[in-house]
Amino acid sequence: MKKIITIVGARPQFIKAATLSRQFQILGVEELIIHTGQHFDTNMSDVFFDEMEIPKPAYQLEIHNLTHGAMTGRMLEGIEEILIKEKPDGVVVYGDTNSTLAGALAAAKLHIPLIHIEAGLRSFNMAMPEEINRILTDRISNVLFCPTATAVNNLKREGFDNIPVRIIKNGDVMQDAAMYYAAKAEQKSDVLKQIGLSKFILATIHRQENTDSTENLKNIIDGLNEINRQTPVVVPIHPRTRNILAQLNIIPEFKLIDPVGYFDMIMLLKSCQLVITDSGGVQKEAFFFGKHCITLREQTEWVELVENGFNILVGSDSKKLKDAFEFFKTKKSDFSINLYGKGKAAEIAAKEIVRL
């Protein structure tokens, strides 16, 4: 039997890992999960393991609230210890967090096959910590599972054809999760009753480039306030961002709610008129549930959403935000196009991993 160690630490990784965990169970793979603790409060962490039916982590490192260097270093030390003890046949990392990079470095230096799910994504913005993490992880991985043709092409342009690595386009495991959990969300979530709105726009703001810049944050809030005068805006907001708004005396006129679990997020996505976000994952989730998206960033890894007219990039420009809102009020799109694998990504990845 194969023994695989999966490393997770942040909300999107819990969701991605759930899809592969189910496939590992079907194939008889022994999986041990290391939770680095990067997201540590109940709303942002434990609840996802319960909701996703993911096996409880075999190891909890509880590393958080540190600088990038300190966090990555302590994670690397903790993960390395576990890998030496467990001697897995492979290590799976997801996405582009500090947990991803720490797990990748630990596996590579111990010569354990490293598998990167969601490889090849590029924003081409080296100011983003995530961009550094994903580039370095790709370079030291043995197997790269790419969600899109764009991701595969990014790797080829970087010379990966000349590197001894397997590149496999398998689709996006986040679409697997969206399709699998949509029915469960109907039964388990009461978030729509809580917000009391039948028509609304869903917005999320969390990236440092937006929350740590007073100008960017003020522009975004101004734009959302103006949109809210036409259609109610609902924002699940992290306590840190809420505190920043209070400190800067920036007053949102729209509805702020506490961070939500995945099932609540699904229901908000399914029920909203439009999505406004600076999250990479939420851009795709909007598409999965047939919603147009306005992205509060200058670049996106999911260029196919922009190229096909599902997504508009506006940065923190309040005028561009309002113009995009007006444009999408009447836009009709065909969301049936197959951009992300139609729910088979985890199955393809798990079967390839078993063959390692």
The segment(s) of the chain belonging to CATH 3.40.50.2000 are 3-172+341-354, 181-328
Residue range 3-172+341-354, CATH number: 3.40.50.2000
Instruction: Please report, in tens digits, the pLDDT of each residue of the chain (356 residues total).
Output: 799 999 999 878 988 999 999 999 999 999 999 999 987 655 545 666 676 777 889 999 999 889 999 999 999 999 999 999 999 999 999 999 999 999 999 999 999 999 999 999 999 999 889 999 999 999 999 999 999 999 999 999 999 999 999 999 999 999 999 999 998 999 999 999 999 999 999 999 998 899 999 999 999 999 999 999 999 999 999 888 999 999 999 999 999 999 998 899 999 999 999 999 999 899 999 999 999 999 999 999 999 999 999 999 999 999 999 999 999 999 999 999 999 999 999 999 999 999 98
Instruction: Render 134-159 in DSSP notation, one character per residue.
Output: HHHHHHH-SEEEESSHHHHHHHHHTT
The position carrying tokens 């764009």 is 150
Contacts of 340 (CB under 8 A, 6+ apart): 147, 148, 171, 172, 174, 175, 284, 287, 288
Cα gap 281→41, rounded to integer Å: 20
Helical H segments across the chain, by residue range: 11-27, 46-52, 68-86, 98-109, 129-140, 149-157, 173-188, 191-195, 208-211, 214-228, 239-247, 262-271, 280-288, 303-307, 318-328, 345-354
Catalytic (active-site) positions: 206
Give the right CATH number for 181-328 from 3.40.190.10, 3.40.50.300, 2.40.40.20, 3.40.50.2000.
3.40.50.2000
Task: For the chain, give the longest Cα–Cα distance.
Answer: 58
Instruction: Answer yes or no: are the C-beta atoms of 293 and 328 closer than 8 Å.
Output: no
